[in-house]
Amino acid sequence: MKIIKRNGSEVIFDTSKIINAITGANGEAPEEARLTEREIRFAALNVEDQCAVAGHTVTVEEVQDLVEDQLMALDHFDVARRYIIYRYVQNQKRHKNTTDDKILTLIEANNEEVKQENSNKNPTVVSVQRDYMAGEVSKDLTMRELLPEDVVEAHNSGIIHFHDSDYFAQHMHNCDLVNLDDMLQNGTVISGTLIERPHSFSTACNIATQIIAQVASCQYGGQSISLTHLAPFVDVSRKKIRRSVYAEMQSIGFHASPEQINVMVEKRLREEVARGVQTIQYQVVTLMTTNGQAPFITVLMYLGEARNEQEKADLALIIEEMLKQRHQGVKNEKGVWITPAFPKLIYVLEEDNIHENSPYFYLTKMAAKCTAKRMVPDYISEKMMRKLKLSKGEVAGEGDCYTCMGCRSFLTPDRSGNGFNNVAHALNYEPGKPKYYGRFNQGVVTINLPDVGLSSGGNMDKFWDIFDERLDLCHRALRCRHERLLGTPSDAAPILWQHGALARLKKGEVIDPLLYGGYSTISLGYAGLYECVKYMTGYSHTDPHATEFALSIMQHMNDRCAEWKAAEDIDYSIYGTPIESVTYKFAKCLQRRFGIVPGITDKGYITNSYHVHVTEEIDAFTKLQFESAFQHLSPGGAISYVEVPDMQDNLEAVVSVMQFIYDHIMYAELNTKSDYCQVCGFDGQIQIVEDDGKLEWECPHCGNRDQSKMNVARRTCGYIGTQFWNQGRTEEIRDRVLHL
């Protein structure tokens, strides 16, 4: 069994240190109040037993909490008091150098908490270490100087989570929809160099990847682009190739028929489209941004965005090639085709591609094949989204369909009715048309819903009072995020604010107008709806006895956001937080505060957003139907998933799920498995085993446990991650049941 020290390093659990600590406090107490040696050992062994069944690698702080509990349980309150005082004094001494210690363990790749913080960042790489080191300094500054004490205390206690505090010291925002159309059609500037409108599709793709890298280095969340913005350049290349073919024919004196010319042109055009798509696929995977990872990029494939039939046909050509190449995968260092984490792909299901007699149904079949092997694309239902996302003046069924920012964060509909009067000064502004590309999210603060329930003790009146107190706290924290961005000059990130990605402001101009009126959003995240409802009602939220209560919780958060929005003209929105690392943090904090409550705090994770618990037996269609009601109440971001076995030989079933998504839920995905062992060449499912209280990834063929010598791909939070997950998330992955 192991323990995580305060600096994040992991060491072997040593019971003698607990005995020594209790003995030290015991010696300070009056003789008549002291424990016997037998009692000291009894208390220490009880703590050891509790750590062994905790379900995760415990921290020093957790162990000390357990020691206090044991001393009090033995009625030795004087010793317990002295132990608490000693602990406080030592903590004060440590406070000055905690950040230094964490940075040193980062450099030596010995910080287990950081190692497991982001499954797509390898902490042994110096660029990742540099980002984490800067992050530790930023966190320290943020918590000591920039945030109110009550927000910091609530964050540290796991009552709320103030996301991305490692970037808060800088004036950076979360995620966005890149206005790639404006940048390609009207030019942009990258690193002081003017980039004009490209003259071919392949050049447009190359510029797009440069833009993606630049944007990723200026914000900390996900970004999304649309293939529709690249589609016009297919015809640019077609015309260029046609001129070239005619010139070649003339140079050799050959007179080709128009049909022959067309065949040659389309063949060369397809080759160029393939090269362009490969540029996007490979450069995104191989680019390393300033935060030490590949850009978190989502690519939208939506035929309905095309402005004419020719553009739609060209867009279909790009989508076809994107799906073909993604199905193939990328080669790892051993030359084996594997599943890459990025770019994340989203395929919009629409009337033009959803039925067998739809003109682009062949693309849907390709998408199904790709999903079965590589876990992408994910699926947005145009039908459902246009019912829910209504800009000013629109009615249900005729609303808007657009991509999320990154994995699940959605912009609110355009409430201006006029594209926000082009407050961003975009050069592709269309008056009266709802605007989405160029908008962004200011940041996220997440509420721990199980903590609200447990704090109420199951009393409903008390629950709603505490809930409102916690929401007020979240509101104050969100205001901190908003106010940190106020006054940010456009010069802070020229690619974003001056050169078209989000705006074309003048040098020195502040971004403040983009923070109000709904142009950008700010997110109230939530986690653990299942555990909260289960504790308060005794039932899963899928049970009819509890569903209404679960929906009332969601509605209450929406109502509070509406209040804040009306008062401040800021688009607060409910967001189903991915909580990759926070799921573990919240679970540990709940155990510290309330102990092990069966069915509520007895795991190393809590449930993402509104999702059905991963262990609950439920079929795919029932799950998607049930969760659709919660997506409606999570307008700032939500995604549902179904866990499925290997479906490569049953693509008809995959298509059936896709068609069900189209008719019933706005945004969903299918989770398959895609692993490879670099030691023995095993191509199958890498398993999770428990060793001395710690969960490890292990090849079932050769027993390899070296994370650097395997490729594991799992869907964790709306996007694909690799094997560098924390213990809580690994436990959650292990516990998942199949839905199909």
Calpha distance 456→487 (Å, rounded): 40
580 is catalytic: yes
Calpha distance 428→183 (Å, rounded): 9
- What pLDDT shows up at residue 470? 98
Tokens of 210: 């440069």
In the set 62, 531, 580, 698, the catalytic residue is 580
Q: Domains of the chain: which residue ranges?
A: 1-96, 175-376, 395-641
Which contacts of 106-114 are long-range, i.e. CB under 8 A and separated by 24 or more positions? 106/8, 106/132, 106/133, 106/136, 107/133, 110/8, 110/9, 110/10, 111/7, 111/8, 111/9, 112/4, 112/8, 112/9, 112/10, 112/57, 113/4, 113/8, 113/726, 114/8
- What pLDDT shows up at residue 684? 83
The mean pLDDT of 554-575, rounded to a whole number, is 98
Segment 13-42, tens digit of pLDDT:
999 999 998 998 898 888 888 999 999 999
Which residues make beta-bridge pairs with 445?
A: 162, 524
Which residues make beta-bridge pairs with 720?
A: 715
- What pLDDT shows up at residue 286? 79
Helical axes 98-107 vs 126-141, angle rounded to 10°: 170
- What pLDDT shows up at residue 705? 94
Whether the pLDDT of residue 291 is over 90: the answer is no
Segment 641-687, tens digit of pLDDT:
999 998 999 999 999 999 999 999 999 999 988 789 999 999 888 99
Segment 418-466, tens digit of pLDDT:
999 999 999 999 998 999 999 999 999 999 999 999 999 999 999 999 9
- Answer whether 587's CB lies under 8 Å from 728's CB: yes
What does DSSP say about strands 175-177 and 223-226: parallel, antiparallel, or unpaired? parallel
Calpha distance 215→458 (Å, rounded): 46
718 is catalytic: yes
> What number of residues does the chain have?
740
- Answer whether 416's CB lies under 8 Å from 698's CB: no
In the set 7, 26, 174, 640, the catalytic residue is 174
What does DSSP say about strands 344-349 and 337-338: parallel, antiparallel, or unpaired? unpaired
Peptide bond into 489 cis (omega under 30): no
* Rounded CA Rg of the chain: 27
Please name the residue that has the structure tokens 């269309």: 430
Backbone torsion region of residue 73, taken as left when φ is above 0, otherwise alpha when ψ lies between -120 and 50, otherwise beta:
alpha
Tokens of 123: 């902490």
416 is catalytic: no
Per-residue burial over 329-365, b = 16 or more CB atoms within 10 Å of its CB, e = otherwise = bbeeeeeeebbbbbbbbbbbbbebbbeeeeebeebbb
441 is catalytic: yes
Q: In 599-717, where do the E strands start and end?
A: 640-643, 667-671, 674-677, 687-691, 694-698, 710-715
Whether the pLDDT of residue 379 is over 80: the answer is yes
Which DSSP state fits 514? G
Which amino acid, residue 472?
D
721 is catalytic: no
Tokens of 296: 């978190």
Calpha distance 202→275 (Å, rounded): 7
490 is catalytic: no
Calpha distance 73→565 (Å, rounded): 48
- What pLDDT shows up at residue 433? 94
In the set 407, 554, 658, 710, the catalytic residue is 407
409 is catalytic: yes
Tokens of 290: 């300033």
Phi first, then psi: what are they for 220, rounded to 5°? -110, -5
In the set 119, 441, 558, 609, the catalytic residue is 441
Q: Which fold has domain 395-641?
A: Anaerobic Ribonucleotide-triphosphate Reductase Large Chain (3.20.70)
- Answer whether 25's CB lies under 8 Å from 79's CB: yes
pTM for the whole thing?
A: 0.87
In the set 133, 175, 474, 647, the catalytic residue is 175
In the set 575, 610, 662, 719, the catalytic residue is 575
- What pLDDT shows up at residue 126? 66
In the set 370, 405, 658, 710, the catalytic residue is 405
Per-residue burial over 168-191, b = 16 or more CB atoms within 10 Å of its CB, e = otherwise = bbeebbbbbbbbbbbbbbebbebe
Res. 722 pLDDT band, cuts 50 70 90: confident
Tokens of 243: 């001129």
In the set 381, 409, 581, 671, the catalytic residue is 409
| CA angle (383 as vertex; 377, 388 as ends), nearest 5 | 105
